[in-house]
A and B are shown apart, each in its own frame.
Chain A
Amino acid sequence: MTQTHRLLEGGLVDRSKPLTFTFDGMTYTGYQGDTLASALLANGVRLLGRSFKYHRPRGLIAAGSEEPNALMQLETGPYTEPNTRATCVELYDGLVAKSQNRWPSLGFDVGAANSLVARFLPAGFYYKTFMWPASMWMTYEKYIRKAAGLGVSPTENDPDVYHGTYAHCDVLVIGAGPAGLAAATAAASGGARVMVLDENNTPGGALLGTSNNAASLEFIKRSEQALEQHENVQLLTRTTATGYYDYNYITALEKVTDHMGPGNGGKSPRQRFWKIRAKQVVVAAGSIERPLVFADNDRPGVMLANAVGTYINRYGVLPGNDVVVFTNNDSAYQVALDAAENGGVVTVVDTRPSVSSSLKTQLEQKNIKLFQGHAITSVQGAKGVESVRVMKLSADGDSVQGQAWEIDCSVVASSGGWTPSCHMVSQSGGKLKYIESIAAFVPDESRLKKTSPNISAGSCNGSFDTATCIQQGARAGLDAATRCGFDGAAASGDSFQVNEIPLGTISPLWLVPTTHPVGEGRSKHFHDFQNDVTAADIQLAAREGFVSVEHLKRYTTTGMATDQGKTSNLNALAIMANIQGVSIPEVGTTTFRPPYTPLTLGAVGGQESRELFIQERQTPMHEWHVDNGAEFEDVGDWKRSWYYPQAGEDMHSAVQRETLAVRESVGMLDASTLGKIDIQGKDAVKLIEMVYTNNWQKLAIGSCRYGLMLNEHGMIFDDGVTTRLAENHYHMTTTTGGAARVMGWLEEWLQTEWPEWEVYCTSVTEQWAVMAINGPKARELLQDITDIDVSKDAFPFMTMREGKVAGVPARVYRISFTGELAYEVNVPARYGKHLIEALAAAGKKYDLCPYGTEAMHVLRAEKGFIIVGQDTDGTVTPQDMDMDWIVSKTKEEYLGNRSQARIDTQRAARPQLIGLLTEDPTVVLPEGAHIVSEVSDAPPMPTIGHVTSSYMSPNVGRSIALALLQDGINRKGDVVTLRLMNGEVHKATVSDTVFVDAEGVRVRG
């Protein structure tokens, strides 16, 4: 294939570096510096996709990120990415692209039949057709999606890596066109920290598409060099500002290695997600040309005028030899001249009745024919423009009349004026104002959001000639730096001049008439190409009352999807305004939403993916657990040993073995994850008295006590053992998951309610590595490795002793979560590994068994010990847990006290904790299973409770469960019915919650 449309010279492509790529299986050649779009155009490929709703053939419209049509499925396998815009894909060797939205092929498309029945697919058709029955939507949606072909997601893991980073600057400049470069240079001159972002691979913005490349490139180089002199300036190319949030927080996507092709980026991340905090922002985002809305304006070959200019000047591609420029303003005349200069046969159709003599002269010099006060009334050519018909416009622009001229052409370059890119300012919370002279909205500097200060400059501010853009940019850059406290050099800006024809007097013609009324006949007037929305759809929406701009958007889908209405927004508003007979500002604008251009989820996640997705917390003994074959359970962010399967064991048998070993010999559990808080100060006991329900005044030094914490609703929210270390010094433990919450709770009360109390809380969770030794042989084992007298009388239950264990300093707490004789050995974390190894060695002769959290759960359930968050759910009181024994009747006050006497906490038939013994002892009820008062074939059934904990207990020799049951404490001995999700029905007897050693002999042994 030869590059039939490539000019012999010109443009910024490197003709010495040819690149090979494929599109829909065909191989083509382009050059370094091309985009996929320019390379396809160079090869004469015009048909690039089919439209979303009607499956009409579509080609390129734009040359930048506003492109609505040319969505590509890029690459294959794990690297494949749908919905990439061909205009934003830099060409690299070996690139593989496929068209989307066509089935089974681009040339022959079954879905194209849709256009023959177009009258059946008006706006709102999704809503109307599939409103009822709602359940059928799922069925329809599959087929619609297949036919619509929004591309396919990769099915393999993403092999790329991504990077996210924060950044800070004084002045952030969005856009490195003439205004942006001038702003950055001015802001940097006084020493401000400046960041400049541009979505292109090189700075320059619109200048890159203009005809006097050499002068433009010199200006760009000059500006770059000026910026390089300042070390506090960062210029990021291939970087798009995607979102603008409160307090000048701007996100941006940098495509770091996309342009190298998949797998060629080395160690670099594929993309980088910037999270930028700027004191001041200069928005120099440029503007987007609007298409004219005329009959069948979606034929491949109908393009934006500036896109034609950009393809010629930046890429050295003439999109077609016969060009019709269709415009309502002066700016497109430059494109006509550029096309003629490069060999095109050009005709200009201007909707305005007269144009300036200087323009006419310039056209005459190039032999360009001009139709004044005329309009294109139809476009011929199904898969690409072959000719257009042109007729004279009536004075009011509402109709056409007279002779129709047929002009053969392959390209229509249309310009309906320019729309400043106000996306960023709108996202920041700023409001827009309508400017009649340019027929567009610009930021209203008097209605910006105070928390997100910014200044717009250049064509995004409605100034379209380059000299003004540079002046405005320089002024904005200086002002922004000044606001940050920097003095800048006088901001005159570069005096660079460019050959250009400014916008001139725009004569808005929002809807170009044809020989029959819009909406009748076969031709369509598209304003939103991506969503396939026509002027007739807006008329329909208006007829049906969807006149509010937000309703219009949702009813017709105009302005949605990946292009977010970049080319369509203003045309839609204007057409609606005309229908309603109101002004455009009266219709209003929708609020622009991030992202400005689509983002990959990979980039948003950045490095915080895979093993860094969640912070995995490890205990000092983690490696020992790994070495000893532990399976791990996630508890909060912690990795806790779940069970230690031996060869041939499944989870069930391992847990049964571990559970038995603890009651028969001795087991050890890593309990380091429990929250630990050091509490000191003369008012320490006052705090402890307030946060626990029981009495603490008389706790002896060296003694431990269990406590329950309530919130002010009277509901249990944590529990643990607290030990008095010294006169005014306590060591509190919390649940693993509740550690941070409890610490926050204590500090909240101390700092906000009782600041005069002298109490200091310090988290010491990780200071201590903790091994819990449980079982009848625990004392013998411990005595072998400690200098503490662990005899029954010297070291009673619920006390703490300090000494050495395994030769290292330790605090040993005689507390138990299994009901067995037990000790919790705390050593400084540095000795954690040493401790577990010493225990394992010393424990051999006692058959010491390491056990995990699952066996711990079984063991504690055998004793009826609750786990906060499993047996409680934030709606249960101590009385509901049958723990009234821990609620002081004598204390004056504690948190949650008053709520105990609320009508609701006092009412009868509250769910209460009970034991459940199934009729069939082999049945282990699923946790969450419902206890029902009546069984029927299908839900709903009246529920009177549910299972909270359920295990097979080897020590009891049958299954056991804990459950919350209405009025349960009074129902012990009753038989209740449980109905499972799978339809099984089980009977169970309500029992006490303690299944083993009800007298508590073993723990005190």
Chain B
Amino acid sequence: MDNPVKATPLEMAAIDVDGLTVAELGLVNKINLRGDFDSQACNAALTELLGMDCRLEANTYVSNSASTLFWLGPNERMLYTDGDPQSVAERWRAAPGTAAVDVSDYSTVLRLSGAKTRDVIASGSPFDVHPQHFGVGQCTQTRFGNASVLLSNHADTPVFQMQVRWSFARYAFDYIKRVADYV
């Protein structure tokens, strides 16, 4: 019991077919941050916490070497951090009118790349991922099949990330795998 086995929902399963590569990102520390992000105080606290300008337009994300901050809603952000989630959460909670929850294991993150990426996502999502509509730096919560997902665009090549709840991860992965043959 000294070395407890850590698992991810897909146990790092991968897809590597013509035009599509899918990898599970493993254990990503994730914190759900809440607060009045329109307020000066809130933004200042967040800037100090993450060391970057954290003012976000709706459905965009921002990142530096240690953190990625996604817009989820007017008073909600998702933070991926290299830091210890408990202590980052506690520091955030110190700011007034805020909340933070460690949700590292609530979901997993799939990285999709390759020429078929957009067609694979379009097979399950009514959200338009055409580069003119969803560029690098944008993120969105939407539907993939019957799973709620957080999609983000990380490179034009293209590289997308899809965050999906633990219990839906197998479903989403199988979905991607099946349509990879069809597009």
Point out residues on A near B: beta carbons under 8 Å. Answer: 161, 163-168, 193, 267-269, 272, 275, 277, 606-608, 611-612, 614-620, 637-638, 678, 680-681, 758, 760, 762-768, 785, 806-808, 828-834, 837-838
Known: A166-B125, A617-B168. 11 other contacts (CB 8 A): A277-B126, A606-B123, A607-B123, A607-B179, A608-B145, A612-B145, A612-B171, A762-B99, A763-B106, A808-B4, A829-B7
The 8 Å CB contact of A166, one of B8, B104, B123, is: B123
Given contacts A614-B146, A615-B147, A620-B9, contact A830 B105 (CB under 8 A): yes
| Total count of chain B residues near the partner, CB < 8 A | 48
Contact flags B155-183 to A (C-beta < 8 A → 1, else 0): 00000000001111011001100110111
Given contacts A168-B128, A615-B146, A838-B1, contact A830 B170 (CB under 8 A): no
- A268 CA / B182 CA spacing, docked (Å): 5
Assess whether A833 is in contact with B5, with CB atoms less than 8 Å apart: yes
- A35 CA / B147 CA spacing, docked (Å): 42
Question: Which residues of A are found within 8 Å of B97, using beta-carbon distances?
Answer: 758
Assess whether A163 is in contact with B123, with CB atoms less than 8 Å apart: yes
Question: Which residues of B are found within 8 Å of A681, using beta-carbon distances?
Answer: 99
Question: Which residues of A are found within 8 Å of B34, using beta-carbon distances?
Answer: 680, 760, 762
The distance from the CB of A18 to the nearest CB of chain B, in whole angstroms, is 32
Assess whether B7 is in contact with A620, with CB atoms less than 8 Å apart: yes
Assess whether A165 is in contact with B145, with CB atoms less than 8 Å apart: no
- A112 CA / B122 CA spacing, docked (Å): 51
Question: Which residues of A are found within 8 Å of B146, using beta-carbon distances?
Answer: 608, 614-615, 637
7 sampled A-B residue pairs with Cβ under 8 A: A168-B128, A615-B146, A764-B103, A766-B105, A767-B104, A807-B1, A828-B105
Number of A-B residue pairs having CB atoms within 8 Å of each other in the complex: 133
Assess whether B166 is in contact with A766, with CB atoms less than 8 Å apart: yes
Using CB atoms, name the residue of chain A closest to B180: A267
Given contacts A166-B122, A620-B9, A760-B34, contact A680 B1 (CB under 8 A): no
Given contacts A165-B122, A680-B101, contact A267 B7 (CB under 8 A): no
- A207 CA / B91 CA spacing, docked (Å): 71
The distance from the CB of B87 to the nearest CB of chain A, in whole angstroms, is 14
Question: Which residues of A are found within 8 Å of B105, using beta-carbon distances?
Answer: 766-768, 828-830
The 8 Å CB contact of A616, one of B6, B171, B181, is: B171
Given contacts A166-B123, A607-B178, contact A616 B170 (CB under 8 A): yes
The distance from the CB of B31 to the nearest CB of chain A, in whole angstroms, is 10
The distance from the CB of B178 to the nearest CB of chain A, in whole angstroms, is 5
Assess whether A806 is in contact with B4, with CB atoms less than 8 Å apart: yes
Contact flags B2-46 to A (C-beta < 8 A → 1, else 0): 101111110000000000000000010000101000000000000
Assess whether B4 is in contact with A834, with CB atoms less than 8 Å apart: yes
Using CB atoms, name the residue of chain A closest to B167: A617
- A164 CA / B179 CA spacing, docked (Å): 9
- A897 CA / B82 CA spacing, docked (Å): 47
Assess whether B6 is in contact with A830, with CB atoms less than 8 Å apart: yes
Assess whether A766 is in contact with B123, with CB atoms less than 8 Å apart: no
Q: Does B152 contact A (CB under 8 A)?
A: no
The DSSP consensus for interface residues of chain A is mixed
Point out residues on B near A: beta carbons under 8 Å. Answer: 1-2, 4-9, 27, 32, 34, 75, 93, 97, 99-107, 119, 122-123, 125-126, 128, 130, 132-133, 145-147, 165-168, 170-171, 174-175, 178-179, 181-183
- A765 CA / B101 CA spacing, docked (Å): 12
- A268 CA / B180 CA spacing, docked (Å): 10
Assess whether B130 is in contact with A615, with CB atoms less than 8 Å apart: no
- A829 CA / B146 CA spacing, docked (Å): 22
- A620 CA / B107 CA spacing, docked (Å): 11
The distance from the CB of A802 to the nearest CB of chain B, in whole angstroms, is 12
Assess whether A806 is in contact with B1, with CB atoms less than 8 Å apart: yes
Question: Which residues of B are found within 8 Å of A831, using beta-carbon distances?
Answer: 4-7
Assess whether A807 is in contact with B2, with CB atoms less than 8 Å apart: yes
The DSSP consensus for interface residues of chain B is loop
The distance from the CB of B50 to the nearest CB of chain A, in whole angstroms, is 19
The distance from the CB of A783 to the nearest CB of chain B, in whole angstroms, is 14
Assess whether B122 is in contact with A167, with CB atoms less than 8 Å apart: yes
The distance from the CB of A168 to the nearest CB of chain B, in whole angstroms, is 4
Using CB atoms, name the residue of chain B closest to A740: B148
- A832 CA / B130 CA spacing, docked (Å): 38
- A313 CA / B36 CA spacing, docked (Å): 71
- A618 CA / B75 CA spacing, docked (Å): 30
The distance from the CB of A390 to the nearest CB of chain B, in whole angstroms, is 56
- A193 CA / B130 CA spacing, docked (Å): 10
Question: Which residues of A are found within 8 Å of B181, using beta-carbon distances?
Answer: 267
Closest 8 CB pairs of A and B: A829-B105, A617-B167, A807-B1, A680-B99, A766-B166, A760-B99, A163-B182, A168-B128
Question: Which residues of A are found within 8 Å of B122, using beta-carbon distances?
Answer: 165-167
- A768 CA / B102 CA spacing, docked (Å): 11
Assess whether B7 is in contact with A830, with CB atoms less than 8 Å apart: yes
The distance from the CB of B167 to the nearest CB of chain A, in whole angstroms, is 4
- A834 CA / B8 CA spacing, docked (Å): 12
Question: Which residues of B are found within 8 Å of A618, using beta-carbon distances?
Answer: 9, 167, 170
The 8 Å CB contact of B123, one of A165, A611, A834, is: A165
- A615 CA / B168 CA spacing, docked (Å): 7
- A612 CA / B147 CA spacing, docked (Å): 11
Assess whether A166 is in contact with B145, with CB atoms less than 8 Å apart: no
Assess whether A617 is in contact with B171, with CB atoms less than 8 Å apart: yes
Question: Which residues of A are found within 8 Å of B166, using beta-carbon distances?
Answer: 620, 766, 829
Question: Which residues of B are found within 8 Å of A838, using beta-carbon distances?
Answer: 1, 4
The 8 Å CB contact of A165, one of B2, B93, B167, B183, is: B183
The distance from the CB of B116 to the nearest CB of chain A, in whole angstroms, is 12
Using CB atoms, name the residue of chain A closest to B127: A166
Question: Which residues of A are found within 8 Å of B4, using beta-carbon distances?
Answer: 806-808, 831, 834, 838
The distance from the CB of B121 to the nearest CB of chain A, in whole angstroms, is 9
The distance from the CB of A193 to the nearest CB of chain B, in whole angstroms, is 7
The distance from the CB of A727 to the nearest CB of chain B, in whole angstroms, is 11
Question: Which residues of A are found within 8 Å of B32, using beta-carbon distances?
Answer: 762
- A637 CA / B75 CA spacing, docked (Å): 29
Assess whether B175 is in contact with A767, with CB atoms less than 8 Å apart: no
- A845 CA / B174 CA spacing, docked (Å): 40
Question: Which residues of B are found within 8 Å of A607, using beta-carbon distances?
Answer: 123, 175, 178-179, 182
Question: Which residues of A are found within 8 Å of B103, using beta-carbon distances?
Answer: 762, 764, 767
Which of A612, A763, A807, A834 is most buried by chain B, counting CB atoms within 10 A of its CB?
A612
Question: Which residues of A are found within 8 Å of B106, using beta-carbon distances?
Answer: 763-767, 829
- A615 CA / B144 CA spacing, docked (Å): 11
- A193 CA / B183 CA spacing, docked (Å): 19
- A658 CA / B5 CA spacing, docked (Å): 28
The distance from the CB of B94 to the nearest CB of chain A, in whole angstroms, is 13
Using CB atoms, name the residue of chain B closest to A828: B105
Question: Which residues of B are found within 8 Å of A269, using beta-carbon distances?
Answer: 182
The distance from the CB of B144 to the nearest CB of chain A, in whole angstroms, is 10
Question: Which residues of A are found within 8 Å of B126, using beta-carbon distances?
Answer: 166, 275, 277
Which of A165, A272, A637 is most buried by chain B, counting CB atoms within 10 A of its CB?
A165
Question: Which residues of A are found within 8 Å of B179, using beta-carbon distances?
Answer: 163, 165, 607
The distance from the CB of A278 to the nearest CB of chain B, in whole angstroms, is 11
Given contacts A620-B9, A760-B34, contact A638 B167 (CB under 8 A): yes
Assess whether A830 is in contact with B168, with CB atoms less than 8 Å apart: no
- A617 CA / B97 CA spacing, docked (Å): 34
- A617 CA / B164 CA spacing, docked (Å): 12
Assess whether A611 is in contact with B183, with CB atoms less than 8 Å apart: no
Question: Which residues of A are found within 8 Å of B174, using beta-carbon distances?
Answer: 611-612
- A608 CA / B122 CA spacing, docked (Å): 14
Question: Which residues of A are found within 8 Å of B168, using beta-carbon distances?
Answer: 615, 617
Using CB atoms, name the residue of chain B closest to A275: B126
Question: Which residues of A are found within 8 Å of B125, using beta-carbon distances?
Answer: 166
Using CB atoms, name the residue of chain A closest to B166: A766
- A831 CA / B104 CA spacing, docked (Å): 12
The 8 Å CB contact of A833, one of B2, B7, B93, B128, is: B7
The 8 Å CB contact of A830, one of B2, B27, B147, B183, is: B27
